[in-house]
Amino acid sequence: MKIALKSILLILAFSLTFVSCREEEEKSEIEQLAEEEGAKVKIKDDKVKVKTDDKKIKIKEDDGEIKTKVKTDNDDN
């Protein structure tokens, strides 16, 4: 009985340790904006557009180079 109880406690301790020590990846600003309520995401062949109430983000790939353009409502671009 003692061996079974010790085994269960040991397994529980290891499982809690592994679950609590997982690394969680931080999301980029673009991913966070895409998950906002009311955000519109459009994906074409080599372009991604994310539009929120106050920001427009365009990401495109030209010849293997990734270009990002961020425009807020305050910008004059």
- State the distance between the two ends of the chain, measured CA to CA, in whole angstroms: 74
Per-residue pLDDT band for 25 (boundaries 50, 70, 90) equals: confident
* pLDDT score recorded for residue 67: 84
Calpha distance 11→9 (Å, rounded) = 5
**In the chain, what are the domain boundaries?**
25-72
Q: Tell me, what DSSP letter sits at residue 55?
A: E
pTM of the full structure = 0.48
Three-state SS at 75: coil
DSSP, collapsed to helix, strand or coil, labels residue 73 as coil
* pLDDT (tens digit per residue) in 34-74: 777 777 888 888 888 888 888 888 888 888 788 888 888 77
Return the sign of the alpha-carbon dihedral for residues 48, 46, 59, 31: positive
